[in-house]
Amino acid sequence: MAAPLLVTMGDAAGIGPEIVAAALQQEPAAAAVVVGDLDVMRRAMALRPEGARWPLARLESPLDAARCPPRCVAVWPPAGLPPGLAELPWGRVDARAGAAAAACVEAAVAALRRGEGAAIVTAPLHKEALAAAGVPYPGHTELLQSLAAPAGGPLPPVRMMLANDELKVVLVTIHLALRAAIDAVTFDAVLQTIRIAHAAAPRWGQPRPRIAVAGLNPHAGEGGLFGDEEIRVIAPAVAAAAAEGIDARGPFAPDTVFMRARRGEFDLVVAMTHDHGLIPVKYLGVEHGVNVTLGLPFVRTSPDHGTAFDIAGRGVADASSLRAALRLARRLAAG
């Protein structure tokens, strides 16, 4: 058996545990282990239809998954999880759920470094719950970046990519207020994003990706009439990347460049801000999208949606995006 994928359970009060339970049943070839609380996963499995409730196996180590029988969900509970997680009300922000979600990610990274996993797939966590728990990172991307840094060393440059079969988008900025994000669009940030996207592309079979760089302003600034970031920052970064032999072009008007990429003119798009880049991908179908963190020394994927507190605990959450994340993680880890 190949080393298992390590699937963190996400926020215990959200849909994470229930889509994990469903996805691991529907994608048994992914060969995965849940990093999470056993009672939380029991509660999630109880939401499955009659006749589709697999038993859970408690592991002492992720590598014990090789001894699990078929039609069984393997769960590895890391040490130090808060008690009573399975009694938390569905759909409510709770510091204990935030602390547990972060602890599962930390344990998964540590296990991966010990060679006990092939890649990490993260179920959704809740940013308010993280903050309530005192976790000093706004989301998965920043938390994983901190965990990937060498002891006492600098943070590795990472970027968020959202991808489906029709479109791949890499972001220059992510979890920032829009006013702050605009200030964060610098020459270095744009050039580094292009470099990271170019370096990552061979993993999914594109050794020389055609990279379109979206502008920041309407019509990519219209020659400076609607903002000059394209002239001052983005175009020079694109030119610098091209001088390094990267097939990067732009900046292009952000209201049309995603359509052009979807039609096959480009292999991926670099977008300046979170919503500029993620709205087009999610519009094509949340159930198909996968979030990939580029620049980490290991593979990490996740579904492209959040904790969906409004439907948590009802047994109606769609596991399709998590299933896609499992398949992509296994493919990237093998490549």
Single out the residue of 68, 36, 37, 64 nearest to residue 54, CA to CA. 68
Q: What is the pLDDT of residue 91?
A: 96
Q: Assess if residue 288 is contained within a domain.
A: no
Q: Which residues are CB-contacts of 271 (< 8 A; sequence separation ≥ 6)?
A: 169, 170, 171, 172, 214, 254, 277
Q: Do residue 115 and residue 170 come from a single domain?
A: no
Q: Do residue 176 and residue 149 come from a single domain?
A: no
Edge-to-edge strand list for the sheet holding 211-214: 56-58, 73-76, 32-35, 5-8, 119-122, 300-303, 290-294, 159-163, 168-171, 268-271, 211-214, 248-252
Q: Do residue 255 and residue 326 come from a single domain?
A: no
Going from the first residue of the chain to its last (335 residues), give the mean pLDDT of each consecutive group of 10, the final group possibly shorter: 90 97 90 97 93 91 90 94 96 97 97 96 96 93 92 89 94 93 97 97 93 96 92 98 98 96 97 94 85 95 94 95 95 86
Q: Do residue 124 and residue 254 come from a single domain?
A: no
For strand 168-171 and strand 211-214, is the pairing parallel, antiparallel, or unpaired? unpaired
Q: Assess if residue 286 is contained within a domain.
A: no
Q: Do residue 23 and residue 152 come from a single domain?
A: yes
Q: Assess if residue 11 is contained within a domain.
A: yes
Q: What are the beta bridge partners of residue 14?
A: none
Q: Do residue 327 and residue 236 come from a single domain?
A: no
Q: What is the pLDDT of residue 287?
A: 78
DSSP H/E element including 78: none
Q: What is the pLDDT of residue 150?
A: 86
Q: Do residue 20 and residue 151 come from a single domain?
A: yes
Q: Assess if residue 89 is contained within a domain.
A: yes
What is the per-residue DSSP string for 143-205? Answer: HHHHHHSPTTSPPPP-EEEEE-SS-EEEES--SS-HHHHHHH--HHHHHHHHHHHHHHGGGGT
Q: Assess if residue 289 is contained within a domain.
A: no
Q: Do residue 171 and residue 145 come from a single domain?
A: no
Q: Do residue 34 and residue 149 come from a single domain?
A: yes
Q: What is the pLDDT of residue 1?
A: 55
CA dihedral over 312, 314, 315, 317, signed as positive or negative: negative
Q: What is the pLDDT of residue 30?
A: 83
Q: Assess if residue 195 is contained within a domain.
A: yes
Contact status, residue 140 vs residue 122, Cβ threshold 8 Å? yes
- Which CATH number fits the domain that encloses residue 19? 3.40.718.10
Q: What is the spatial distance between Cα 194 and Cα 204, in angstroms, rounded to a whole number?
A: 16
Q: Do residue 143 and residue 170 come from a single domain?
A: no
Domain that holds residue 232: 165-280
> Structurally, how many domains does the chain consist of?
2
Q: Do residue 13 and residue 142 come from a single domain?
A: yes
Residue written as token pair 């920041």:
216
Q: Assess if residue 285 is contained within a domain.
A: no
Q: What are phi and psi of 6, to 5 degrees?
A: -105, 115
Cα angle value 95/77/302 (rounded, 5°) = 70
Q: Assess if residue 209 is contained within a domain.
A: yes
